[in-house]
């Protein structure tokens, strides 16, 4: 998580998410990274820390959302965009909706655990309170390769 908001441009946001994913891999965590951006300012950024924090909710998206909420002093991230290297799971997709994220950008789809374009497709549910604009497939090949390499090394 970030302690101080930093200026950034939207194209740089996905690069920052990849930096967080690679840092997570170096810590032995599943390499997923996320960045929350508003008006060119990074409000929160994180990589997975479930093992380190012994917390099943410590996904990159959750930690980045928490950091952004803390940075602006609100549970609503109106006008914010989230960049993440992997399609969010059901927990993260719900948190993205509750936070009122404006746009969700993600890298690789996740046929097994995703909840946006795969699985439960949370944002298609009539009970979903807020639906962000969704843009999948950003640097998809690179994101998928990062995950494949990580898991290949552990088998």
| pTM of this structure | 0.92
Catalytic residue among 20, 29, 61, 87: 61
8 in a structural domain:
no
Q: Which residues are annotated as a binding site for Zn(2+)?
A: 59, 89, 92
19 in a structural domain:
yes
Q: Which residues are annotated as a binding site?
A: 59, 89, 92
**In angstroms, what CA-CA distances link 67 with 1, 100, 129?**
5, 15, 22
Composition of the chain by helix, strand, coil, percent to 5: 40, 20, 40
Active site residue 75: no
**Percent of the chain scored above 70 by pLDDT?**
93
Across the range 67-85, mean pLDDT stands at 98
Total domains, the chain: 1
The alpha carbon of 61 is separated from its chain's Cα centroid by a whole number of angstroms, namely 4
Task: Write out the residue range of the structural domain in which residue 132 sits.
Answer: 13-153
What are the pLDDT digits (tens) for 113-128? 999 999 999 999 999 9
4 in a structural domain:
no
Across the range 83-96, mean pLDDT stands at 98
Return the CATH number at 143. 3.40.140.10
63 in a structural domain:
yes
Predicted confidence at residue 2, as pLDDT, reads 37
11 pLDDT band (50/70/90 cuts)? low
């Amino acid at each position: 998580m970030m302690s101080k908001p930093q200026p950034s441009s939207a194209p740089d946001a996905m690069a920052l998410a990849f930096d967080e994913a690679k840092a997570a891999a170096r810590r032995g965590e599943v390499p997923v990274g996320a960045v929350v951006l508003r008006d060119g300012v990074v409000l929160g950024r994180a990589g997975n820390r479930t093992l380190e924090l012994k917390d099943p909710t410590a996904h990159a998206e959750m930690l980045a959302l928490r950091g952004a909420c803390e940075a602006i002093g609100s549970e609503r991230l109106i006008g914010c965009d989230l960049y993440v290297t992997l399609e969010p799971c059901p927990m993260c997709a719900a948190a993205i909706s509750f936070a009122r994220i404006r746009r969700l950008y993600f890298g690789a789809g996740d046929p097994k655990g995703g909840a946006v374009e795969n699985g439960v497709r949370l944002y298609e549910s009539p009970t979903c309170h807020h639906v962000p604009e969704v843009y999948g497939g950003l640097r998809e090949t690179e994101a998928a390769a990062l995950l494949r390499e990580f898991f290949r090394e552990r088998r």
